[in-house]
């Protein structure tokens, strides 16, 4: 949906939540997943106190918007204003700066895995090999864990709550019919087909969440979907704009500069906000 027009239909949906390793948390004296950002910081300090060089509190797979937005929104930050027309005052707001500063400080003190900058194990492999206490990921991961790490014990929890509550990022795929399609009747029939309950259930069994409300709580779907469905109630979409790929790149580059110690969080995000202002204006 962009400028009062629909350009496609949702094929599936998802969001990201906390996957945590109960064994590592228990060893550190932690009984449950963190409910707040403050709890998360305290838990990371306890995991660090285990003094295990190859064990991290948290692992993240990159610095793009998909990766950092759950923390930004949960700490009261944002990318733009509600009309998606201005980034200054939002991308460089107190909440956004706090989230990026938290990630920088965690990388510095060794509680955040270097995977966020491309080093170390991938997040799924790290938790699969019991080298990280927590990751944030989506509903496609349980089938992957079942195949690659069948002995892994893990559980799920919503994003820790901060000044912005508990929030995450809306994901999923859309399906469209091209304007110049030479097979519009067949394309429309296929659109209807994939959005019918049997096909949506089949996708659900692979870890792709259905978009039909009628399937909420359906017993043929994985029970773990419930955590993701609850998180979707407070999740947010990424900025709907033709310039989104460049906006995403701008955010990712700014966070990288901070994590590498090249810029302070406020300065990096001030520059990024100004760049995104131009992109939103079509410059």
The two three-digit tokens of residue 35, written as one number: 């409910």
Residue ranges of domains in the chain: 17-170+236-280
- Separation of alpha carbons 76 and 95, rounded Å: 5
Q: Are 243 and 204 in contact (CB under 8 A)?
A: no
Question: 10: burial class by Cβ within 10 Å (0-12, 13-18, 19+)?
Answer: middle
Ranges of the chain with pLDDT below 70 = 1
In what side-by-side order are the strands of the sheet with 155-157? 56-59, 132-137, 17-20, 155-157
What is the CATH code for 17-170+236-280? 3.40.190.10
pLDDT on residue 26: 97
- Separation of alpha carbons 192 and 278, rounded Å: 39
Q: Are 207 and 140 in contact (CB under 8 A)?
A: yes
pLDDT on residue 1: 65
CA angle 248, 99, 283 (to 5 degrees): 30
Enter the DSSP assignment of 154: -
pTM: 0.94
Coil vs helix vs strand at 168: coil
């Amino acid at each position: 949906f962009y400028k009062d027009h629909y350009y496609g239909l949702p094929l599936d949906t998802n969001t990201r939540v906390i996957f945590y390793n109960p064994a590592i948390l228990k060893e550190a004296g932690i009984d449950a997943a963190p409910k707040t950002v403050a709890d998360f910081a305290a838990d990371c300090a306890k995991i660090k106190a285990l003094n295990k060089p190859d064990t991290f509190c948290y692992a993240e797979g990159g610095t793009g918007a998909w990766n950092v937005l759950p923390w930004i929104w949960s700490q009261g930050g944002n990318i733009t204003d509600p009309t998606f027309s201005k980034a200054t005052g939002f991308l460089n707001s107190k909440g956004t700066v706090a989230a990026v500063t938290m990630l920088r400080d965690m990388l510095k003190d060794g509680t955040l895995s270097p995977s966020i900058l491309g080093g170390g194990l991938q997040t799924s492999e790290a938790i699969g090999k019991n080298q990280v206490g927590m990751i944030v990921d989506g509903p496609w991961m349980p089938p992957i864990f079942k195949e690659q790490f069948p002995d892994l014990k893990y559980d799920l929890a919503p994003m820790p709550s901060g000044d912005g509550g508990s929030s995450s990022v809306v994901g999923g795929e859309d399906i469209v019919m091209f304007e110049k399609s030479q097979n519009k009747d067949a394309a429309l029939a296929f659109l209807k087909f994939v959005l019918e309950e049997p096909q949506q259930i089949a996708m659900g069994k692979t870890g792709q969440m259905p978009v039909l409300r009628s399937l909420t709580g359906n017993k043929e779907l994985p029970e773990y979907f419930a955590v993701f469905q609850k998180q979707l109630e407070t999740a947010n979409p990424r900025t709907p704009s033709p310039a989104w790929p460049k906006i995403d790149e701008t955010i990712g580059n700014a966070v990288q500069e901070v994590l590498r110690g090249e810029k302070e969080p406020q300065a990096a995000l001030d520059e990024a906000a100004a760049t995104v202002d131009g992109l939103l204006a079509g410059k």
